[in-house]
Structure 1
Amino acid sequence: MNQEVVSIIIFVAVITVIMTEKVHRTAAALAGTVALLLTGILTVDEAIGYVDFNTIGVLVGMMLFVAVVKHSGLFEYVSIKSAKMAKGDPWKIMVVFMIITAVCSALLDNVTTVLLMGPMTLTMAQMLRINPVPILLGQIFASNIGGTMTLIGDPPNIMIGSAANLSFMDFVENTGVACTIGLIVIIFFMKVAYKKKLSADADAVKEIMELDENKAITDPKLMKISIAMIVLIVVAFVIHGKIGIESSAVALTAAAIMMIIGHQDIDEVVSDVEWPTLLFFICLFIVVGGMVKTGVISQLANLIMDFSGGHLIMTMMILLWASAFLSAILDNIPFVATLIPLILAMGQQGMDITPLWWAISLGACLGGNGTQIGASANVVLSGISGRHGYPISFKDYTKVGMPVMIITVTIAMIFLLLKYQVGLPI
């Protein structure tokens, strides 16, 4: 049996086990990694080479940062304030949190955004005595949609922008328009999907309205430092590419500063990090890396190109939907990295490849909403939710995530067709 087939079997086996939830997803991904090493498809050095340590660094840094900040009472303060502004209405809270998440994800790494928003949501839900899962799912969807809007919102966009020489405003005018429409539609979709679950106990609402959010602040000095650091982090994430600093360096620097000046118990802070989630990411990178090494990912990309026959609109549609469905189960970074040189080659043959960049951007980024493992934000926030007693199963996530993906990608398809086939000035 050749290595290509073995790498596919290992990947399919890992995904199947994760979907059935017979084994914890981290154990399944680790088993897949071990299988690749034992079959000789990857050496240990090669396996490590496929791990995106920049992403891991962002996750570790922001998890440590949040673990310190939470001791200030900031999350409780914002939760009470938000709940009071929304008059205790979970639906209004969901809308506000989704919009905030989308905007922040357009300017920050979307994992960073959900790591900051997740604790606020859990605290607010506890106060209102409601299940936070619908609101957390709304944030996941909003983070992936928001991340698609800009050049810096999602790693594939950074790669595409660099390869195609596209500016921040180019993305805002293309992916930004389609995603803004998509976000509005998904907000109403969430209301329909969770209408019965988005209601709070009247007594809990009354208690919330009587609370003084200022009393939630347990460490005023730490809270002021935390707010200042969050502002600096936002600025640093926006400009990190221009000053030549990796996003992981920004997150780890913020974590180091807070751990030094926050004066919290370091053992407690470190124990708050979602280590199983981090190990899952590392192993999943390696499992996908096995298919990159054997050429499976490259063959997939070539197959897509061959199927379209070189027709621009057909190629655009195939790339959009193929990117979406594959990104729901694969890491979109190696897939997009494989597509970029193929699209550039098509451009050298005289094809107008501009629409194709937007197709793979919208498909690869929005496709992340399809399943629980489709994007980093999904895995991270699902892990946090489960750790606090509200597990989100792969099946339950997919029931909502897949329709969200199909709706947003359909909106993206209509936008691309109106702009590049009909020729509307949008």
Structure 2
Amino acid sequence: MSVIAVTVFVVAYALIANDRVNKTLVALTGAAIVVTLPVISSSDVFYSRTTGIDWDVIFLLLGMMIIVSVLRRTGVFEYTAIWAAKRAKGSSLRIMVLLVLVTAFGSALLDNVTTVLLVAPVTLLVCERLAINAAPFLIAEAFAANIGGTATLVGDPPNIIIASRAGLSFNDFLIHLAPLVVIVIGVFVTLLPKLFPGAFTVDPQRVADVMSLEEREAIRDPSLLIKCGVVLVLVFAAFIAHSLLHMDPSVVALLGAGILIVVSGLERADYLASVEWDTLLFFAGLFIMVGALVKTGVVGQLARSAATVTGGNAVWTTMLILAVSLAVSGVINNVPFAATMAPIVGELAPSMLGHGHPHALWWALAIGTGFGGNLTAVGASANVVILGIARRADNPITFWEFTRKGAVVTATSFALTGVYLWVRYFVLS
């Protein structure tokens, strides 16, 4: 069965990377094959947290897409776009830097998917006003979301899995990972002109037109904006405090969406306008194919083999876990990978006592699964969402366009992280 699971995944991945076949159709076809044969059962698909569809991700996306649909009716995205363009004095590079920093900060407080869903509409409007291609901006925001989300316990789902297994707190993540994230984001910002050459040329007349606009005139429904603002504050507060409230972010997002549907009085076509159904179905298919790899033991075997190659050397074990996590999380979704690796790291962590910081392996896993999402276009949920938004906005981003840039960002992140882990946990420990 493992041969079938690997074959289906590799063929599906090749077709997705090819960009000539609809990726949602490919993912659903691959899922249908592994379920029909059957490599994976219906109970594994619908009810298992390690091998099934991650319903928290699906419903978090659905809820936030509905909230964005309602929010779009107020004109606040146009307001923010004009405000950002004017503050940057029409410089597209300054605008990209501003959006990257906002995305990274937002992803640390919320989660990367929610953040890109809120920032992407603003980005599209800014680029439309300046008549420039939005694709480079959206790609940069996906990278920033994955980097920023690594900084905190709530920023990326794998961090929650790791924290639960290792007994780590919110403050532990903040103290150990936030400094690295600040360094990586700083270097990433300096790389933007080289990563996206030719993306910052703007027609001076367009800049003059934007500078003459009055952003307050963009607000179309002040009353609805106030209602949305109240609901969003409550939603964001619940996201941050979800561990205290014992309420998953997906439930919070659906509750917020439901409240906005009721108070807005919008028609169904209006509040569903921004829902990316293709993206949701793609995620479902991808989760099932990856679940088949987990169910048949392929992912677990790869992880164990990689972890035993170092012969017990603490530094090399840490670096290998980082490298493997970066590579594998760039190919499959990082949630099932983190769930599979967590028990393995739990077994290896005690051997670190007396040979460096006992949590170094956990930080290597957290950083690898977070930063590794930048490697390919399907490496993280935020990437898939960004590609869906770009496609609907007629600014399509190909798999290889994203992945070429992502490989550079991931390699840079790996180099910086390797030095950080070595110095902090082995030289200074």
Give the TM-score, by structure 2 length.
0.96
**Any unmatched runs of 5+ in structure 1?**
none
How far does residue 356 in structure 1 lie from its aligned partner after superposition?
0.1
2:352 & 2:216 partners in 1: Cα distance? 63
Contact 1:41 1:290 in 2 (8 A): yes
Deviation string 1:322-351 (CA, Å, 9 cap, x unpaired) is 000100011111111121112222245564
Q: Hey, what does 1:117 align to over in structure 2?
A: 119
2:331 is paired with a residue whose SS is coil
**CA shift for structure 1 position 161:** 1.3
Report the counterpart of residue 388 of structure 2 in structure 1.
Answer: 383
2:412 aligned residue: 407
CA distance, structure 2, for counterparts of residue 159 and residue 139 of structure 1: 24
The Cα shift of 1:227 comes to 2.1
Cα offset, 1:44, TM superposition: 2.4
Moved more, 28-37 or 338-347: 338-347
Matches within 5 A, 1:184-203: 184-203=186-205
What is the rounded CA distance, in whole Å, between the counterparts of 1:348 and 1:82 in structure 2? 49
1:367 equivalent to 2:372? Answer: yes
| Distance in 2 of aligned mates of 1:408 and 1:10 | 31
What whole-Å deviation, never above 9, does each CA across 1:230-283 have from its counterpart, x for those lacking one? 222221100011110011011001110111111222123224310000000011
Alignment of 1:231-242 (within 5 A): 231-242=233-244
Matches of 1:388 and 1:157, distance apart in 2: 32
Q: Partner amino acid for 1:28?
A: V
Q: Which residue of 1 aligns with 2:174?
A: 172
Q: Is the 8 A contact 1:4 1:296 kept in 2?
A: yes
SS of aligned partner of 2:243: coil
Q: Deviations over 1:134-183 (max 9, x none)?
A: 11111111110110011111011111112112122221222111111100
**Number of the residue aligned with 2:41:** 43
Q: Are the aligned partners of 2:238 and 2:245 in contact in 1 as well (CA < 8 Å)?
A: no
Residues of 2 paired with 1:348 and 1:317: CA distance? 17
Aligned 8 A contact 1:54 1:247 in 2: yes
Which of 343, 346, 353 is equivalent to 2:345? 343
| Residues 1:423 and 2:428 aligned together | yes
| 1:28 aligned residue | 26
1:147 and 2:122 aligned: no
Which of 272, 288, 293 does residue 270 from structure 1 map onto?
A: 272
2-side partners of 1:20 and 1:135: how far apart? 23
2:125 and 2:319 mapped to 1: Cα distance? 42
- The range that moved more, 318-327 or 151-160, is 151-160
Quick one: which amino acid aligns to residue 18 of structure 2? T
CA deviation after TM superposition for structure 1 residue 288, in Å: 0.3
SS of match in other structure, 1:242: helix
Contact 1:108 1:234 in 2 (8 A): yes
The one-letter code of the counterpart of 1:264 is: L
The letter for the 1-side match of 2:397 is I
What is the aligned counterpart of 2:68 among 66, 69, 80? 66
Match status 1:289 vs 2:294: no
Partners of 1:356 and 1:396 in 2: CA distance: 32
Equivalent residues in 2 for 1:97-116 (5 A)? 97-116=99-118
> Aligned partners of 2:350 and 2:171: how far apart in 1?
25
| Aligned mates of 1:316, 1:94 — CA distance in 2 | 34
Distance 1:97 1:144, change over 3 A: same
Q: Does the aligned pair in 1 maintain the 2:333–2:381 contact within 8 Å? A: no
Determine if the alignment matches structure 1 residue 10 to structure 2 residue 15.
no
| 1:248 corresponding residue in structure 2 | 250
Contact 1:32–1:283 (CA<8 Å) still a contact in 2? Answer: yes
User: 1:364-413, CA deviations, whole angstroms, 9 ceiling, x for partnerless residues?
Assistant: 11000011000000000111011010000001111101111111121111
Q: For 2:27 and 2:321, how far apart are their aligned partners in 1?
A: 28
The correspondence for 2:128, drawn from 126, 129, 152, is 126
**Percent sequence identity over matched residues?**
38
Separation (CA, whole Å) in 2 of partners of 1:174 and 1:419: 9
Give the stretch that moved more between structures: 382-391 or 164-173: 164-173
Quick one: distance in 1 between partners of 2:205 and 2:232?
34
Give the root-mean-square deviation of aligned CA atoms: 1.3
Residue 330 of structure 2 contacts residue 380 of structure 2 at CA under 8 Å; is this kept in 1?
yes
